[in-house]
Chain A
Amino acid sequence: MVETEVKFTAKDFKSDQEVRWCPGCGDHAILNSVQRAMAELGYKHENIAVISGIGCSSRFPYYMNTYGFHGIHGRAAAIASGTKVANPKLSVWQITGDGDGLAIGGNHFIHLVRRNIDINVLLFNNEIYGLTKGQYSPTSQKGAVTKTSPYGTVEPPFHPGELVIGAQGKFFARTLDGNIKLTTQILIEAAKHQGTSVVEILQNCVIYNDRVHAAITEREFKDDRQIVLEHNKPMIFGKNRDKGLILEGMKLKIVKIGENGITEKDILIHKANENNPGIHQMLVNMRYPDYPVALGVIRSIHAPTYEVSVEAQIDKVQKETNIKNMDDLLRSGNTWEIE
């Protein structure tokens, strides 16, 4: 991606369309973070394509002053794949939700991740269907009472991070809608990462699932219930930065620094670039109240991307072939003359 010399601000990426999300919706903050990240990345507007499916979050492209495509339900990953493979020079951003991306679009989601096409996937996870007014989604907690589960759901939820790792994902990060600073920073890393980057954004739906993430976002608890992971840094959290994670047997364990002879040196160091997904898998699966919820870039490893490999094959064949155009092909191989 060629960066421009002109300095952009977040405002440069706002379109002339009125933003129509509900007041108080977490999407407003996410839009803000995306526009900030794009300004900081300095990509030219014309080289950015924002592609979505259907759902509240999928209105996103209309609010961006870039190329945009509002697709159909569940298919954003497929449309974005076609766009990116056709033109690898574009910076392609897929906006999706837990219904769009993991229910109707679940198949495309895992295959996009498996192929490792360089698309930045922003997965807005509010554990509910908002646009259809409050039905449970594939990420709703078991037992969630919604309009289609008046007695509570009986099915276990997907955990997006686990799904990404299961599909051989190379980049997974998690953030919160309201934490604009962290989100912006993660989005920049996701954009720079070559390959599919999945960013799960825990998002609040004020109307149909208000406070769904409150247990970890409330000001008075958040430092004890969140852990922001940074590459090469120890996994420390807590209001007093005195709690950490260690590996005990096959499990992660919370320990207190200074107690039982534990020092900072005993705490696990986060390695986002570790190929073996073992620890990453444990990190994405940490859930309140047993663990703090992991935020930040949890996994980021390098691997060849699909679209680059496709072009490499084409280049190789084009260099070696004698067939330069359709007339050549028509006359190649087994032909005969009638005189």
Chain B
Amino acid sequence: MSEKIKPIELEEVSIRFSGDSGDGMQLTGTLFSNTSALLGNDLATFPDYPAEIRAPQGTVGGVSGFQVHFGHSKINTPGDYVDVLVAMNPAALKANLRWVKKQATVICDIDSFDKKNIKKAGYNEDPFLEEDLDGLNVIKSPISTLTRESIKDLGLDNKSILRSKNMFTLGMVYWLFNRPLEYTEDFLTGKFKKAPLIIQANKRVLSAGYHFAETIEALNPSYIVNPAKIEKGTYRNINGNVATAWGLIAAAEKAGLNLFCGSYPITPATDILQELALRKEFGVKVFQAEDEIAGINTAIGASFAGYLGVTTTSGPGLALKTEATGLAVITELPLVIVDVQRGGPSTGLPTKTEQSDLFQALYGRNGESPVAVVAASTPSNCFEYAFQAGKIALEHMTPVLLLTDGFLANGTEPWLVPSMSDYPDIKPPIVKESNKDYQPYARDENLVREWAVPGTKGFEHRIGSLEKMNITGTVSYVPENHQLMTDLRQAKIDKIADNIPKLEIHGNKDADLLVVGWGGTYGHLITAVEQLQQEGKSIALAHFNYINPLPLNTAEVLKSHKKIIVCELNMGQFANYLRIQVPNINYLQYNKVQGLPFTVIELTDHFNKILEEK
């Protein structure tokens, strides 16, 4: 065993763990991330898994990946290209080689590179010859063999033995980056409480991997990524879907109401439904409906009864909810509709990310039917914007569409846990018993109607899907009244702008190039913009979380730049929306619909090109 050379300090590192769906790569990646977070690194993660639950073993379609990007400085994305790729089989190598940096380390389980698997992955005979591996540090390790060897005396069956080979890999990666094993060991002890043999096996394999990497000097010198200078406080890892669920509960708590969620399972939104189903301690009533339509209609029925009604879905499900969204618009009931966007149209790319539901959110209903639209921009701020969506819905008596996406939903990051005392109260306009002349459609200064809930004596009234008479809320077919009510419903949404924060600009107010984004692209856009700012370029970012209405200072921000480029993961929906809302500006566009996030490098390349153009 040779002396370990003093490790090299790195600013940031990306690792992608990949293997067959059953190889435990998601867990491996999560354990590595948690260990790094405990060491004080900032980080971001993103899982990449197939739409099929168990795609044919060994095929490229069945490859499951987990990427983690951790660093000594602020980390905003899971990283474009990786420094280390773990490929547990030939298919994983085939699927992921395009994501490695030029001098990356590639760890393969050479035992799984047999004839059968090589063919299944679509190689002819030798993947290592057929791929261009120039410059890469390829570590062909007999991971399966060594795993078996290290626990052969424990009397486990072959299946259980091979199931722990991911721990061998994890052990190797821990050694590469000088990480301790304790967190993972504690996790294993907790997870397999009832199976001491499995704990022993996994711990032994983990340690075997660690020492194997040391013995073969897999990387010499190894690397260190020092803790980031991040704010003091209590942290936890959170993904966008859990943050969304918690934000909705927090909104109900601040409003003093109960939460009702009527939803139908749909990728990638299902985790919100599942998380809410767990949270019975908050009295959350979760109704797994027979379809998307019943999901939203039960939520509307619950809102009618005085709950904060929410429904959670993804693009195709939102399409099914359009008619009922209109019902919430005309009945002016509070409702939060969460759309975790995925690749479309139709079933499209269910497990991939996209921002192509914006027009559907803004306009996808019959009639003049405005709703508020809010978008989260990081996994953890899904909490903030779910909370704000609930606040707007309750205080303005309107449906609110909260847009997240597959990238935010499944991505995780460390989150400085907030205190609920930092969040504002939510004051729904519940009718006061002293109000003797209650009229269902009388409005306050924000044009918001009062909410009289069944069970409240003296306020019995009827609401419904037919046009309402102004103030009284009875059915009305009067032409002028329909015009008036249409105007009022629009003005009510417009007035929300008075209660949302102004648009902030990252960079100089008069930068030559203003990058405009919205929602889940924030991490990539800010990283790209900051990189160019450090290079002295005149560039700034304006990133939108409030889409309808837009912040009041939007025009002011947009009009002070030579060039504006709107970047989004669709073919230009927000750019076109801005052309309507803030006309007479030349909006350039940068669009991508590949089911993937932007990469920082493609953004910086493109921005540089535009900055150079006269």
B158 at the binding interface (Cβ < 8 Å):
no
B529 at the binding interface (Cβ < 8 Å):
no
Is B293 a contact of A86 with CB atoms below 8 Å? no
Known: A70-B463, A71-B327. A51 touches B281 (CB 8 A): no
What residues of A have a CB within 8 angstroms of the CB of B279 in the complex?
329
B215 CB to closest chain A CB, in angstroms? 32
B460 at the binding interface (Cβ < 8 Å):
yes
Select the stretch in A121-129, A220-228, A317-325 that faces chain B. A317-325
Known: A54-B465, A75-B293, A81-B301. A336 touches B250 (CB 8 A): no
A337 vs B304: C-alpha distance in the bound complex, in angstroms? 43
Known: A61-B464, A71-B464. A46 touches B246 (CB 8 A): no
Q: Which residue of A lies closest to B298 (CB)?
A: A82
Is A47 a contact of B455 with CB atoms below 8 Å? yes
Known: A330-B418, A335-B236, A337-B233. A79 touches B298 (CB 8 A): yes
What residues of A have a CB within 8 angstroms of the CB of B34 in the complex?
334
A69 vs B331: C-alpha distance in the bound complex, in angstroms? 9
Contact with B along A246-261 (1 / 0, CB 8 A): 0000000000000000
Is B285 a contact of A314 with CB atoms below 8 Å? yes
Is A336 a contact of B258 with CB atoms below 8 Å? no
A89 vs B464: C-alpha distance in the bound complex, in angstroms? 22
Is A82 a contact of B287 with CB atoms below 8 Å? yes
What residues of B have a CB within 8 angstroms of the CB of A30 in the complex?
none
Is A81 a contact of B236 with CB atoms below 8 Å? no
What residues of B have a CB within 8 angstroms of the CB of A317 in the complex?
280-281
Is A82 a contact of B237 with CB atoms below 8 Å? no
Known: A49-B454, A68-B464, A318-B281. A334 touches B306 (CB 8 A): no
Is A327 a contact of B280 with CB atoms below 8 Å? no
Is A335 a contact of B301 with CB atoms below 8 Å? no
What residues of A have a CB within 8 angstroms of the CB of B456 in the complex?
46
A15 vs B417: C-alpha distance in the bound complex, in angstroms? 52
Known: A46-B454, A72-B324, A325-B420. A310 touches B294 (CB 8 A): no
Known: A69-B301, A79-B297, A336-B38. A314 touches B462 (CB 8 A): no
Q: Which residue of A lies closest to B253 (CB)?
A: A326
Count of chain A to chain B residue pairs whose CB atoms are closer than 8 Å in the complex: 193
What residues of A have a CB within 8 angstroms of the CB of B285 in the complex?
85-86, 310, 314
What residues of A have a CB within 8 angstroms of the CB of B297 in the complex?
71-72, 75, 78-79, 82, 108
B249 CB to closest chain A CB, in angstroms? 6
B91 at the binding interface (Cβ < 8 Å):
no
Is A79 a contact of B455 with CB atoms below 8 Å? no
Q: Which residue of B lies closest to A318 (CB)?
A: B281
Is A324 a contact of B281 with CB atoms below 8 Å? yes
Is A82 a contact of B305 with CB atoms below 8 Å? yes
What residues of A have a CB within 8 angstroms of the CB of B201 in the complex?
none
A338 at the binding interface (Cβ < 8 Å):
yes
Is B466 a contact of A70 with CB atoms below 8 Å? yes
- Selected contact of B304 from candidates A47, A83, A318, A323, CB within 8 Å: A83
A87 vs B231: C-alpha distance in the bound complex, in angstroms? 44
What residues of A have a CB within 8 angstroms of the CB of B331 in the complex?
69
Is A78 a contact of B234 with CB atoms below 8 Å? no
A17 vs B34: C-alpha distance in the bound complex, in angstroms? 63
B6 at the binding interface (Cβ < 8 Å):
no
A61 vs B473: C-alpha distance in the bound complex, in angstroms? 13
Is B233 a contact of A338 with CB atoms below 8 Å? yes
Residues facing B in A28-86 (CB within 8 A) are 44-49, 51, 54, 61-62, 64-72, 75, 77-86
Is B260 a contact of A90 with CB atoms below 8 Å? no
- Selected contact of B324 from candidates A17, A75, A324, CB within 8 Å: A75
A111 at the binding interface (Cβ < 8 Å):
yes
Residues facing B in A185-217 (CB within 8 A) are none
B341 CB to closest chain A CB, in angstroms? 24
A333 at the binding interface (Cβ < 8 Å):
yes
Is A86 a contact of B306 with CB atoms below 8 Å? yes
Is A79 a contact of B304 with CB atoms below 8 Å? yes
B291 at the binding interface (Cβ < 8 Å):
yes
B512 at the binding interface (Cβ < 8 Å):
no
What residues of A have a CB within 8 angstroms of the CB of B464 in the complex?
61-62, 68-71
Known: A314-B285, A330-B246. A86 touches B301 (CB 8 A): yes
Closest 7 CB pairs of A and B: A82-B301, A70-B464, A82-B298, A78-B297, A68-B462, A317-B280, A86-B305
If A47-B454, A83-B301, A336-B234 are given as contacts, then 9 extra A-B residue pairs at C-beta distance below 8 Å, sorted by A number, are A61-B462, A68-B462, A83-B304, A86-B285, A89-B455, A318-B280, A326-B250, A329-B282, A335-B234
A-to-B contact residues, CB < 8 Å: 15, 17, 44-49, 51, 54, 61-62, 64-72, 75, 77-87, 89-90, 107-108, 111, 310, 313-314, 317-318, 321, 323-327, 329-331, 333-339
Please name 26 pairs of A and B residues whose Cβ atoms are closer than 8 Å in the assembled complex, sorted by A: A15-B462, A46-B456, A62-B462, A64-B462, A69-B462, A70-B466, A75-B293, A75-B297, A78-B262, A78-B294, A78-B298, A79-B297, A82-B302, A83-B454, A85-B287, A86-B302, A90-B305, A90-B455, A108-B293, A314-B285, A317-B281, A325-B253, A326-B420, A329-B279, A334-B34, A334-B237
